[in-house]
Amino acid sequence: MHKLALTLFASAGLMCAAGLSLPIERYTLANGMRVVLSQDNAAPVVSVYVIYGVGSRSEQKGRTGFAHLFEHMMFQGSKNVPKAQHFQIVQSNGGNLNGSTHPDYTDYFEVLPSNKLAVGLWLESDRMRGLNITEENLQNQKEAVKQERRLNFDNQPYNTAIVDVWPQIAFKNWGNSHSLIGSFDDLNAATVADVSEFFKTHYAPNNAVLCIAGDIQIAEAKKLIETYFADIASQPQPKAPDLTEPEQTEARSQTYKDPLAQVPALIAGWAAPKRRSADYYALGMLDVLLSGGDASRLQQNLVKGKQSVISYEANIGWPFASASDYTWPGDYAVQLLFKPNFTSDQILGQLTGEISRIQKEGVPAKELDRARTFFRAARYNQLMSVQSRASLLAQYELFDHDPNLINTELDSFLAVTPEQIQTVANKYLTEARRSTLTIMPAPSQTETKTEAK
């Protein structure tokens, strides 16, 4: 259970046997910025988390990579913060920070001692108010993005296939299928005017959610938020892109030759249901049965039993999302690295064999109870971090307009029945709706090559 993102650089009393009871206060500033506050004074730490409703699926043709480029630009200085000082200010105040780009959002956070809350809010408001977009900064970050691609994708096994090739197989709408990191040609063509317009359109307060979680006093936090953010001007709300996908009626399959791969890999995916639908929750629990922990079916039957698979990853929205930030249209996908003495067809047969057993036989109640325990423990463990708590709250606000889902949605997953899992397996995980990508080692080649089967 894993997702890939482009990255720049709970206390026990809140969790009881009956469920979650995280305190939440939600409101909206006059400029349209949504605010979510969650107070937990168990430790003197606070997370300031800002999420913008812009990601790679917001980009236009000829402008790929802008969302990721902007993640970098946001650390290049702003109205009152010189270049490179954002990192230094946070770290000198005992904190840490980061930012990441996703298909549907870009996020930034600081985790600080709670008496430094004002520092984090000032930093985030200053760059929302006015980013330092200059020709020098733009050219510098163009090269930084290119270098990141070379280091983390072009010179790493499997990653180019995952980021560039897999979306083109899984999706037909350009908005969904183009590369998350973008092309060098589009980056080279970007001008200061292009970047300034992108910032004005997408980095406005009415396209953002601010979440603060941890050791705060609500009244004091509200005063600081009003001071730093209330006078930032809103902008016309950006138009949502048309991401509609045509219905898939026949299987898709390709092979990618990777000169950096040491062992072969198989990716198999299926178009997934809408976020927070009954089928979405059932598919989420089906994923836990297949890939969640040491007792999962893939671990027990393919890694240990057949000894064919070396490692695997799976999730709703893989590789760029997980169940918490998945949005439709999206996929449910599984990546399996396997031993070279097996073929990709054999591995696909073993994977679909596990799915077929669920489709035909259903799921034993005892096995589902195990999956529920694993899922519950994973969510509780996630919520022990104020930063993870803040990100979940902000995602629920951005995508669902309901941060209280952090307290209730776990119950929706745990309430899924064996019958619902069997139904969703038969409905979604069919051969006609399946896409596959085989990644084969090709150490003798100097260039990668994609072939249709």
What's the DSSP call for residue 58? G
Q: In 3D, which of 370, 290, 372, 374 has the Cα closest to residue 336?
A: 290
Cβ partners under 8 Å of residue 21, min gap 6? 14, 15, 407
* Half-sphere exposure for 68 (CA within 13 Å, toward CB): 28
pTM of the model: 0.91
3-state secondary structure of 14: helix
Share of the chain above pLDDT 90, in %: 78
pLDDT higher than 80, residue 365: yes
Q: pLDDT by residue (tens digit) across 124-172?
A: 999 999 888 889 988 888 888 888 888 888 889 999 999 999 999 999 9
What pLDDT does residue 144 have? 85
* DSSP bridge partners of 440: 257
Among 14-23, 152-161, 227-236, where is mean pLDDT lowest?
14-23
- Compute the distance between CA of residue 258 and CA of residue 442 in angstroms, rounded to an integer: 5
pLDDT higher than 50, residue 16: no
Q: In 3D, which of 261, 404, 436, 280 has the Cα closest to residue 338?
A: 261
> Radius of gyration over alpha carbons of the chain, in Å?
22
Q: pLDDT by residue (tens digit) across 413-425?
A: 999 999 999 999 9
What pLDDT does residue 450 have? 52
- Compute the distance between CA of residue 238 and CA of residue 359 in angstroms, rounded to an integer: 42
pLDDT higher than 70, residue 120: yes
Q: Band of the pLDDT at 444, cuts 50, 70, 90?
A: low
What pLDDT does residue 382 have? 93
Domains and CATH numbers, the chain: 6-229 (3.30.830.10), 252-452 (3.30.830.10)
pLDDT higher than 90, residue 387: yes
Q: pLDDT by residue (tens digit) across 323-363?
A: 999 999 999 999 999 999 999 999 999 999 999 999 999 99
